[in-house]
Amino acid sequence: MTDYESKVHNLFASMSYAASAKLNLFGTVTWNKAESALDKVQMPDLAAISAQTGGDLVDNMDYDFTNLNSYSDLDYTLLKLNGGLSYKVSPTVTFTLDGEYADLTDDQGYVFGNESGSFYMVRSGFKVQF
């Protein structure tokens, strides 16, 4: 009938650095590239099936898969960057601050619509240990 091929490449790097006894820095980079697709669909020959089954076609096989391979493609790239810090205010209280940026590029956006986009987020808070 058909074959499905998928190619995925991932890259991940992270770092953590203790700048001082109270200050820690960290960051990550994530990159993902994914491609996949169906080959052209080859439907069985109805005349051959009819001859093998004595004319008894189990189901009406009047399906059209002509363009299935053309709208089954997946091709996107995702980049995520993250960085932040934690600062120990006291032995039991730590201040945290980090940010994240993500960018998705959808090069075959016709399946679910174009899903390309970016976002960034900044978070901060206090961690209390007791």
Question: 103-117, pLDDT tens digit by residue?
Answer: 999 888 766 677 899
Residue with tokens 């991932």: 10
Per-residue model confidence (pLDDT) at position 99: 98
Query: Which segments of the chain have a pLDDT < 70?
Result: 1, 44, 46, 55-64, 110-112
Distance CA 43, CA 63 (A): 9
- Number of domains making up the chain: 1
For residue 58, report the phi and psi dihedrals to the nearest 5 degrees.
-60, -35
Structural domain including 103 reads 4-128
Per-residue model confidence (pLDDT) at position 16: 98
Per-residue model confidence (pLDDT) at position 4: 82
Per-residue model confidence (pLDDT) at position 105: 92
Q: Are 103 and 76 in contact (CB under 8 A)?
A: no
